[in-house]
Structure 1
């Protein structure tokens, strides 16, 4: 394959490049705008949900009449998981997940457990590991 910036010789035949199949299926190409997931809201109903907040859901919440992402969050939270982990699993921005999780917490489907303040030793370990990168 000749790069597009490489000058072609005068009179050279231009043959079309064979099309390579895309590894992405048509279902993966469907993109839903974040504001549709949250009903246009940008702020969670319950404030104070941090990235490291641990979430859990009771198995009974699986039988609740939830739709789409809310259902998936309850499924993911059958084992304890942070808000950041849920965002990664759903491939959704963190702010959107915070809004969705806040709705589930208010409705009683998901329970959140705040982590206590980080110790000085933990902060220093984090700092040292970031510096090592």
Structure 2
């Protein structure tokens, strides 16, 4: 019997072992927060795991926390912890959204989200 394709792609490492069993990040990260790799992160200085290096490589182009989780096929909570660790080490920069209901930037942001969802 052939295994489903999704099962073949799964890692043998349990997601929360990547975070040392932590389930909550030290910082409050929104899923739409943007993450970019710092100069230190581009050189992987202080990247302690394969997952950390993968996030640094992925975020050389600025991406949202949700995109990082999707690209790495990891739970959002795990990715938030990993990104928080990387930010604390100075390997990534986090750009939190500054949305205020009813202002121009929130409308533009929602339009970008809608366009991104349609593109899926």
Asked if Structure 1 and Structure 2 have the same fold, meaning a TM-score greater than 0.5 normalized by the shorter chain, the answer is yes
Rounded Cα–Cα distance in structure 1 between residues aligned with 2:4 and 2:40: 38
User: Whose RCO is larger (CA < 8 A, sep 6+)?
Assistant: 2
Q: Cα 1:29–1:35, aligned 2, differ >3 Å: closer, same or farther?
A: closer
- Structure of higher CA gyration radius: 1
1:30/1:114 Cα in 2 relative to 1: closer, same or farther (>3 Å)?
Answer: closer
TM-score, reference length from structure 1: 0.67
Q: Which runs of 5+ in 2 are unaligned?
A: 115-120
Q: Could you say which structure has the higher helix fraction?
A: 2
Q: Count matched residues.
A: 106
RMSD: 2.7
Do the aligned residues in 1 keep the contact of 2:40 with 2:90 (CA within 8 Å)? no
Which whole-Å CA distance do the structure 2 matches of 1:80 and 1:95 have between them? 19
Unaligned runs of 5+ in 1: 1-18
TM-score (norm 2): 0.73
* 1:51 aligned onto 2:31: yes
